[in-house]
Amino acid sequence: MTGYVLRRIGQMVLALLGVSIIVFALIHLVPGDPVRTALGTRFDQEVYEALRARAGLDQPIVVQYFTWLGNAVTGDLGVSFRSGVPVTTLLLQRLPATITLAFAALFVALVVAIPLGIVSAIRSGSRLDYAATATSQVAVSVPDFWAGIMYILLFSLVLSWLPPSGYVSFFEDPLEWARHLALPALTVGLISGSIIFRFVRSSVLEALNQDYTRTARAKGLTERQVIWRHVMPNAWIPIVTVVGLQLGFLLSGVIVVEVIFAWPGLGRLALLSVQDRDFTVLQGAVLLIAFMFLLINLVVDIVYGWLDPRVRYD
Amino acid sequence: MNGTSRSRIGMLVMMILAIALIVAACDSGESVDTGETTTTAASGGETTTTAGEGGEDTTTTAAAAPEGGGILIAAQGAEPDRLDPHLTSAYASFQVLENVYDTLVQPGPDLSMEPALAESWEISDDNLTWTFTLRSDVVWHNGRAFTADDVVYSYDRIMDPDFGANNAFRFASIEEVTAVDATTVAIQLSRPTPNLLVNIGAFKGMAIVPREIVEDGTIDTNPVGTGPFRFVSSSPDQGIVLERNPDYWRASEGLPYLDGVTFIQIPDPTVKLTNLRSGEVDWVDTVPPQQLAALEGDSSVVVQRVPGGDYHYFALNQNREPFNDVRVRQAIATAINREEIAEAAQFGAATANQTAIPAGTFWSYDYAPFTASDTAAATALLEEAGVSDLTIEFLVTSDFPETVTQAQVIAAQLDAIGVGVEIRDVDFSTWLDAQGGGDFDAFMLSWIGNIDPDDFYYAQHHSTGGFNFQGYNSPEVDQLLDAARVETDQNARKALYDQAATLIVDEASYTYLYNPENINAWGPQVTGYEVRGDNAIRFVETQLQR
């Protein structure tokens, strides 16, 4: 197990290195130039050259990459060209809001998806199953920006229950933290929940049709015992997989929802850095997101073995 | 085994929740005062702010200033990029910096230049030396006294060719800046510069900054100015927090009234307005014109619209055929209908104009040679030029969505003369790249915040102008613009600009479309705020009545 984890960590480092090369190459292929963007329409060749030189952007790309990599290894991700602030500071400022929203949305998603998915599978073909499946189809299809605006208009403007946007840290005011978190968590959580619901339903349904389930029923166990002791343990693995993927997706910053709710997360930072061609920030943000994705994958794989002893790592 | 597996799931859920809580807990920020505590705003009629149209003065009779005027929450649509006034070009940054920094002189309510850090100035007989007398009662937010050395330092920084200040071009005629004594600064010019005051004071891009925050590298993260509000903090979750500067040089007038201003960023315009209507924020910058009708009937919102100095235009690439033929440009300029374009893009919050400078100012010039939608004249011009089967690619950007709308309207209008339009909608970075590289048939954008006619015409239309991407080259216009630059007699100077504008419009170097109105909105609790023609956001005389 330890060997397995160490091997996986080694793979993670290699993957991150690959990601950094790809990102670096991609952002330099896209048209647009950070210096021009910073200058706006008031372009002046001398000013342009001076700014480029000062930011080291006049160096060949390969030199820029290795300079960046050398610093990154020591934890220095560079300075944002757009704001003059160190990239690590910018990322750390945004990380709490992103993690808060990701876990809150996942909480909403699990609370909705797991019970509903299990019940829908057990009573598949029932009215409840049809209703739940249809609702999840709608929830996945409705664009998140539209749903978000509708929630804001309803809960903030019409009912005056919740603030329309913004983020308050938990330590500052737990109640306001929850009030500000509710709508974005609902918007994202229902979409993730609908995706997870479908996986829960299908994997429970699959386990219900297995021979061991028939055997369990045949030997006279109650339906409750059949579900919890024979069906669910076998259904968890695909569910954990999709939950891990959803969490990775949520942590990578739900850009549209962050924009709608003025949520100060990584997604908005990444968006701004793309708009302004702020290469160092984008590079840092993508690396952080990739790292979180890889970390979640590792955790999910470890959880597999924990949930199902048949999974071996050697 | 099965039983334990179940409890493991329970543990997993618990762990996820625990991690969520720990992370939330790690995020400790400074607390922010939402300003609901202080409500000692002067409800009596002590303060009268008359900001009438031609009113030179904003008369403020505040014997006893209302101490503790609450904290105003201002919502911006865009995020400030950086806070170094000499490096940023972002309007969102200047909304904040306007309230933190000062310039030597600044535009007054009618946009004529008035004293700020400089009390008065004298011009030498040869017009080459300007001597500014500075206020002696100004203190930096860090407590140090403001002196002439600060002015010299700031201007040298802007002029340093290795530094790359955005507004270095405004200092092109300045040879040297010297401190004569602690409160006197002399500016030595290479040529007469009648618009020097605008060049050094039009907006906070030419702010006076203290040397120490440049040298310790905190100018972007902890700006220190001389303005009405002091910078406290900036973070993505709490926005940019400013507090009242008790040592402000207009403190004897009781200014500023507010205890502070907090700028928060709300990118979505609908959500921004919802925050205003639900009272979460007190003030919002730009209002989408399509929301105007709804907002103006809403008693919980005050909307103010003011004719602005901005203009929208498009330019045809004169380095490309057939746009190098003036008749083709003229055909397009007369086939379009500016009223329709303005109405579609700004929902009536704009005035069509065939020149750049809006009506109602000293420099405006009433000239409109093109008849709207004159398809007969346009077709004749195209025939004369021997052009048929013309398709124009319009370079526009969704980052300024009105340019897309305008291109759509123009496409419909040019269809009437058989000219096709292909709309190339890219993001602004790509747009700038294409514009700079000359990779366009036509580009469309707006110019904002210009005050002096030199700002309106020189860089855009002089053959050596830095922003003349359309490739206009008229020796006559060059001559007129060069002469107007150094003409110290105001009326003679205006006459020169009128002649230049006539040529620029006639030859369609730019095809001007309209001047949009400047629009801000705020809650009824906000008083003493005025939308300005230059779109500067000044909260110095603003009050909150909660």
Chain A 173-202, residues with CB within 8 Å of chain B CB atoms? 177
- Read off the amino acid at residue A120: S
**Token pair in block for residue B297:** 């009937």
Q: pTM of the entire structure?
A: 0.85
Q: Which residue of B has its CA nearest to A49?
A: B164
CA distance B537 to A223: 69
Q: Do B16 and A106 touch (CB under 8 A)?
A: yes
Q: Is the pLDDT of residue B64 over 70?
A: no
Chain B 201-260, residues with CB within 8 Å of chain A CB atoms? 220-221, 235-237
In this structure, how many other beta carbons lie within 10 angstroms of the beta carbon of residue B6? 15
Domain A88-207+235-307 maps to which CATH number in 1.20.1090.10, 2.170.190.11, 1.10.3720.10, 2.70.50.30? 1.10.3720.10
Dihedral of CA B140/B144/B145/B150: which sign?
negative
Query: Given this model, what pLDDT does residue A313 score?
Result: 62
Number of inter-chain CB pairs under 8 A, A vs B: 210
Enumerate the residues of chain A whose CB falls inside 8 A of the CB of residue B23: 96, 99-100, 103
- Residue B27 pLDDT level (bands cut at 50, 70, 90): very low
Q: Do B236 and A306 touch (CB under 8 A)?
A: no
- Residue B24 pLDDT level (bands cut at 50, 70, 90): very low
CB contact, 8 Å: A305 with chain B?
A: no
Q: Do B429 and A166 touch (CB under 8 A)?
A: no
Query: Given this model, what pLDDT does residue B314 score?
Result: 96
> Shortest CB distance from A177 goes to which of B12, B24, B278?
B24
- Do B181 and B134 contact (CB within 8 A), yes or no? no
Q: How far is B334 from chain A (nearest CA, A)?
A: 27
Q: Is the pLDDT of residue B38 over 60?
A: no
Per-residue model confidence as pLDDT tens digits over B457-494? 999 999 998 889 999 999 999 999 999 999 999 999 99
Query: Given this model, what pLDDT does residue B241 score?
Result: 97
* B466 SS3 class: coil
Query: Given this model, what pLDDT does residue B52 score?
Result: 32
Nearest to A112 by CA among A227, A198, A197: A197
Q: Is the pLDDT of residue B50 over 50?
A: no
Cβ neighbours for B451, distance < 8 A, ≥ 6 positions apart: B107, B111, B198, B202, B309, B534
Query: Given this model, what pLDDT does residue B298 score?
Result: 86
Burial level of A295, CB count in 10 A (0-12/13-18/19+)? Answer: middle
Would you call the peptide bond into B358 cis, given omega within 30 degrees of 0 as the criterion?
Answer: no
Enumerate the residues of chain A whose CB falls inside 8 A of the CB of residue B203: none
CB contact, 8 Å: B7 with chain A?
A: no
pLDDT in tens, chain A (314 residues): 677 778 888 888 898 899 888 888 887 787 778 888 877 777 777 888 888 888 788 888 888 888 888 888 888 888 888 888 899 999 999 999 999 999 999 999 999 999 999 999 888 888 999 999 999 999 888 888 888 889 998 998 888 899 989 898 888 889 999 999 999 999 999 999 999 999 999 999 888 888 888 888 888 888 888 888 888 888 888 888 889 888 988 887 688 899 999 999 998 898 888 888 888 898 899 888 888 888 888 888 888 877 777 776 65
Cα atoms in the Cβ-side hemisphere of radius 13 Å centred on B251 = 14
Give the percent of chain B with pLDDT over 70.
Answer: 88
B47-56: average pLDDT: 31
Residue ranges per structural domain of chain B: 9-64+83-221, 311-517
The rounded radius of gyration (Å) of the Cα atoms in chain A is: 24
CB contact, 8 Å: A275 with chain B?
A: yes
Phi-psi group of A180: left, alpha or beta (phi > 0 → left; psi -120 to 50 → alpha; rest → beta): alpha
Q: Which residue of B has its CA nearest to A232?
A: B6
Q: Is the pLDDT of residue B254 over 80?
A: yes
Q: Is the pLDDT of residue B62 over 50?
A: no
Q: Do A82 and B82 touch (CB under 8 A)?
A: yes
CB contact, 8 Å: A129 with chain B?
A: no
Q: Is the pLDDT of residue B444 over 90?
A: yes
CA distance A119 to A251: 29
Query: Given this model, what pLDDT does residue B511 score?
Result: 96
Per-residue model confidence as pLDDT tens digits over B373-412? 999 999 999 999 999 899 999 999 988 889 999 999 999 9
Q: Do A157 and B265 touch (CB under 8 A)?
A: no
Query: Given this model, what pLDDT does residue A144 score?
Result: 85
* B174 SS3 class: strand
Enumerate the residues of chain A whose CB falls inside 8 A of the CB of residue B94: none
Query: Given this model, what pLDDT does residue A47 score?
Result: 82
- Do B481 and B473 contact (CB within 8 A), yes or no? no
CATH topology of domain B311-517: Dipeptide-binding Protein; domain 3 (3.10.105)
Give the percent of chain A with pLDDT over 90.
Answer: 24
Least confident of A33-37, B97-101, B116-120, B228-232: A33-37
Asked if CATH classification 3.40.640.10 holds for the domain at B9-64+83-221, the reply, yes or no, is no
* CATH 1.10.3720.10 intervals, chain A: 88-207+235-307
Q: Is the pLDDT of residue B47 over 70?
A: no
Q: Is the pLDDT of residue B133 over 80?
A: yes
In this structure, how many other beta carbons lie within 10 angstroms of the beta carbon of residue B411? 16
Dihedral of CA A24/A30/A35/A37: which sign?
negative
Mutate to test the interface with B, among A27, A33, A35, A44 (most CBs of B within 10 A): A44
Between strands B302-307 and B511-522, the pairing is: antiparallel
